[in-house]
Amino acid sequence: MIVAEEKDELKAKLKEIFGYGNFRGNQEAVIKNILGGRNTFVIMPTGAGKSLCYQLPAMINDGLAIVISPLIALMKNQVDQLNAYGINARFLNSTLSKGEITRLKKDCISGNVKLLYVAPESLNKEENIEFLQKVKVSFVAIDEAHCISEWGHDFRPEYRKIKTMIAQLGNMNVIALTATATPKVQLDIQKNLQMEEADVFISSFNRKNLFYEVRPKKETKKQLIRFLKEHKGKSGIVYCLSRKKVEEIAQLLNVNGFKAAPYHAGLDPDVRMKNQDDFLNEEVDIIVATIAFGMGIDKPDVRFVVHYDVPKSLEGYYQETGRSGRDGLEGHCLMFYSHNDLNKLEKFNKDKAVQERENARVLLQEMEFYAESPVCRRKQLLHYFGEEYKEDNCGMCDNCTNPRERFDGTEYVKLALETARQTNERFNLGHLVNVIRGTEDEYVKSYGHFSLPVFGKGSEQDADFWKSVIRQTLIYQYLEKDIDNIGVLKISNKGRNFLKKPHPVELARDHDFTTVGDEEESIERPAANNKSYDEKLFEMLKALRKKVAKEKDLPPYVIFQDPSLEEMATTYPTTKEELASVNGVGMGKVNKFGKDFLDLIQTYVEENDIETASDIVVKSSVNKSKIKIFIIQQIDRKVELDEIAESKNITFDELLTEIENICYSGTKLNLDYYIDSVLEEDKQEQIYDYFLESETDSIEDAVDTLKDEDPDFTEDNLRLMRVKFLSEYAN
């Protein structure tokens, strides 16, 4: 009866303070353990409610609970939420002034504060330890505890000192919490905190509502825009590795009609906080961020997480994808993958210490296996964190909804296991592959493995094939990782039974990302010889152009030039805005000539059931570069062209090219003030007549035709006159 009363009392507190009617998963068991004065280690996936596990005991216990947290953004978010519940929670970090710190310390000593969030760097300061020694501390919670482990994905050296710092505050209970910890990392955390005897609570890592997908990193901007249009108005996060890429993608999304904001450590703190708050308050839908964003951010309705670049580790990937669908509803996790990203990350690690570099390499290798593997993504992720997923098809990942080709892998698995056995289960995947394929590197030679019966037995298959076989043998638990020796593979009991009594095993072909091609599509005008456009539509557009030109008594090129028609036949614009975004068009030309072309494209799209430009066109702010705006402004002020070129330190020829690009994109330029100073009126009329009658606007053809008539008909003058002609007739 007493147990039931305790349970009811705890649920009443939960309802009273946080408004929840019931606990989730392991929360209740964890909270009782903490209230019972036990050291507690909590491994709970993102979105499962880790924070509540220490927040509720902090409210029930006497004294101040200290929460060690790695990020200022995380602290602010948690403190804001707790304050909204009427809980006096505060944070101590570098953003506070001396006056604010003095007031905070006074409030803590007087017992007014229930939870204090502290960065490990702040806890390391002597004056802060002295202050906390004067406070009645109920317990210490270490959030994001995976930062302790050098084997993990987000190692922070300051976290290794936490145990020493806590010891200075007296003998108190410790609660360590993390969303991502492999068995190896779990062991390291417990050893470092000297809490091997702690009660461990591991929740399932399976987030059933998340859909996992990996796509080749090709034409990534176009793929991203299309994906986001499918999720228009929904909340999401796009992760990039560099600050520069974050800024670029945030700008790209805004240009393409999405409400997006950047977030990275290089931004002014006020801007960073505003962007975070705007995201939480639904002022913006999408945050484009480095991994600095999201730790502990409690936004339940994030509907998608996109990794524009490959993450550094599966732990990081899992944690970041876990910010999607925390309310249990849909969550789409999309990663763009290429070998180039892995190579870049490998280069970042070259200056690290040898052991740290090796650890980082192993983490990257796991990322590579995950992306390229044909096995159920959920099965892979859970296996990585030491959990078995018994189903072969989860129905919620790309590998399960679009299965890869399968084949009988029985003999291959047998050879992999036999190789591990004959090498005494002391080596990593790479070494096993070399032995199987008969590759004599220095390790194979030094251990004499070239004389083993298995040596070279798999030489007919390439290294990637055998890596895939061994990886799948590991996921299907015929092999297992040696927890004490990173990278080493051992035969499991299941594997030993298989060797004694083999049975059929089906394997699948890996994804092939080696022939992906260009990662970023060009968003400039397509080359004239690029035949990727719809040739049938292109011919129809040309015929229409000829008809319109005849009606208006103009050369066809004045209406739209060939590259513009090619782009229309590639992107199928069906609205004025979409047509105006085609290079060489602009809204002026759309209003002048666009209606017939839009009608033709719309009919063609409907008759042929074609995906339209609104799904695939990528608008860029490139054409509104500073130099173009500067040139337009200077021409409006009638500044001499030579002066404009000189002020921008470019040649006159380069300036003319910029002016032509401005003109082709539909902007009207009045160059009369300059042209009148270099060409007499009758010569201007002569050139005008030429362009009106010519089949083409080619300057080479114009020079060939006119050069013998007058030395003033230079290439530069003809180019200027062409801009004047097109500005008046086309724009």
Q: What is the pLDDT of residues 251-307, one digit of tens each?
A: 899 888 899 999 988 888 889 889 988 998 899 999 999 875 655 466 889 999 999
Element (H, E) at 89: strand 89-92
Per the DSSP assignment, residues forming a β-bridge with 92 are: 118
State the pLDDT at residue 532.
56
Whether pLDDT at 399 is above 90:
yes
Query: What token pair was written down for 517?
Result: 């091609």
206: which residues sit within 8 A by CB, 6+ positions away?
378, 382, 387, 389
DSSP structural state of residue 391: -
Whether pLDDT at 187 is above 80:
yes
In order, the DSSP letters of 535-577 are: HHHHHHHHHHHHHHHHHHTS-HHHH--HHHHHHHHHH---SHH
State the pLDDT at residue 585.
81
Query: What token pair was written down for 572?
Result: 């199928």
696: which residues sit within 8 A by CB, 6+ positions away?
555, 557
Q: Show the DSSP H helices in 236-295 as ranges.
A: 243-255, 269-280
Average pLDDT rounded to a whole number, residues 516-524: 48
Spatial contact of 587 and 595, defined as CB atoms under 8 Å apart: no
Q: Which of 412 and 46 is assigned the larger pLDDT?
A: 412
Element (H, E) at 65: strand 64-68
What is the pLDDT of the chain when averaged over all its residues? 86
Question: Distance between CA 198 and CA 176 in Å, rounded?
Answer: 10
Q: What is the pLDDT of residues 61-120, one digit of tens each?
A: 999 999 998 877 778 878 988 998 899 999 998 888 899 999 999 999 999 999 999 988
Q: Pairing state of beta strands 489-491 and 479-481? A: antiparallel
Tell me the pLDDT band of 524, cut-offs 50, 70 and 90.
very low
Whether pLDDT at 23 is above 60:
yes
State the pLDDT at residue 662.
82
Q: What φ, ψ does residue 287 adopt, rounded to 5°?
A: -105, 130
Spatial contact of 44 and 50, defined as CB atoms under 8 Å apart: yes
Candidates 288, 249, 248, 253; CA nearest to 272 is 288
- The string over 374-412, giving b where at least 16 C-beta atoms fall within 10 Å of a residue's C-beta and e elsewhere, is bbbbbbbbbbbbbeebeeeebebbbbbeeeeeeeebeeb
Element (H, E) at 34: helix 27-35
- Domains of the chain, with CATH numbers? 2-202 (3.40.50.300), 210-397 (3.40.50.300), 410-504 (1.10.10.10), 535-620 (1.10.150.80), 623-729 (1.10.10.1390)
State the pLDDT at residue 7.
59
Tell me the pLDDT band of 527, cut-offs 50, 70 and 90.
very low
Q: What φ, ψ does residue 161 adopt, rounded to 5°?
A: -95, 0
Spatial contact of 723 and 702, defined as CB atoms under 8 Å apart: no
Q: What φ, ψ does residue 713 adopt, rounded to 5°?
A: -80, 65
Distance, CA of 417 to chain centre: 37
Spatial contact of 729 and 588, defined as CB atoms under 8 Å apart: no
Query: Any idea which of 138-142, 586-590, 592-596, 672-676 has the lowest mean pLDDT?
Result: 586-590
Query: What token pair was written down for 384?
Result: 């990585």
Spatial contact of 135 and 109, defined as CB atoms under 8 Å apart: yes
Q: What φ, ψ does residue 87 adopt, rounded to 5°?
A: -95, 130
Candidates 139, 78, 148, 79; CA nearest to 120 is 148
Whether pLDDT at 721 is above 60:
yes
Spatial contact of 513 and 337, defined as CB atoms under 8 Å apart: yes
Spatial contact of 461 and 437, defined as CB atoms under 8 Å apart: yes
Verdict on whether the full-model pTM lies above 0.75: no
Question: Distance between CA 705 and CA 687 in Å, rounded?
Answer: 10
530: which residues sit within 8 A by CB, 6+ positions away?
566
Q: What is the pLDDT of residues 608-642, one digit of tens each?
A: 877 665 555 565 554 445 678 888 888 988 999 98
Candidates 49, 374, 366, 394; CA nearest to 208 is 394
Q: What is the pLDDT of residues 479-509, one digit of tens each?
A: 999 887 878 999 999 999 999 999 999 999 9
Question: Distance between CA 547 and CA 544 in Å, rounded?
Answer: 5
Cβ-based neighbour number of residue 87 at 10 Å: 17
Whether pLDDT at 151 is above 80:
no
SS (H, E, C) 567-607: HHHHHCCCCHHHHHCCCCCHHHHHHHHHHHHHHHHHHHHHH
Q: Pairing state of beta strands 286-289 and 235-239? A: parallel
588: Cα within 13 Å, side-chain hemisphere = 18
Please identify which residue in the block is written with the tokens 């480095």.
290
Tell me the pLDDT band of 153, cut-offs 50, 70 and 90.
low
Question: Distance between CA 674 and CA 479 in Å, rounded?
Answer: 78
**Most confident among 125-129, 554-558, 560-564 (mean pLDDT):** 125-129
Candidates 26, 4, 8; CA nearest to 16 is 8
Cβ-based neighbour number of residue 657 at 10 Å: 13
- The string over 188-199, giving b where at least 16 C-beta atoms fall within 10 Å of a residue's C-beta and e elsewhere, is bbbebbebeebe
Query: What token pair was written down for 63?
Result: 């004294």
Question: Distance between CA 39 and CA 194 in Å, rounded?
Answer: 10
Question: Distance between CA 321 and CA 86 in Å, rounded?
Answer: 31
Query: Any idea which of 183-197, 287-301, 396-410, 420-434 has the lowest mean pLDDT?
Result: 287-301
Query: Any idea which of 91-100, 315-324, 521-530 has the lowest mean pLDDT?
Result: 521-530
Average pLDDT rounded to a whole number, residues 522-534: 46
Element (H, E) at 201: strand 199-202
Whether pLDDT at 308 is above 70:
yes
Please identify which residue in the block is written with the tokens 């007087």.
110
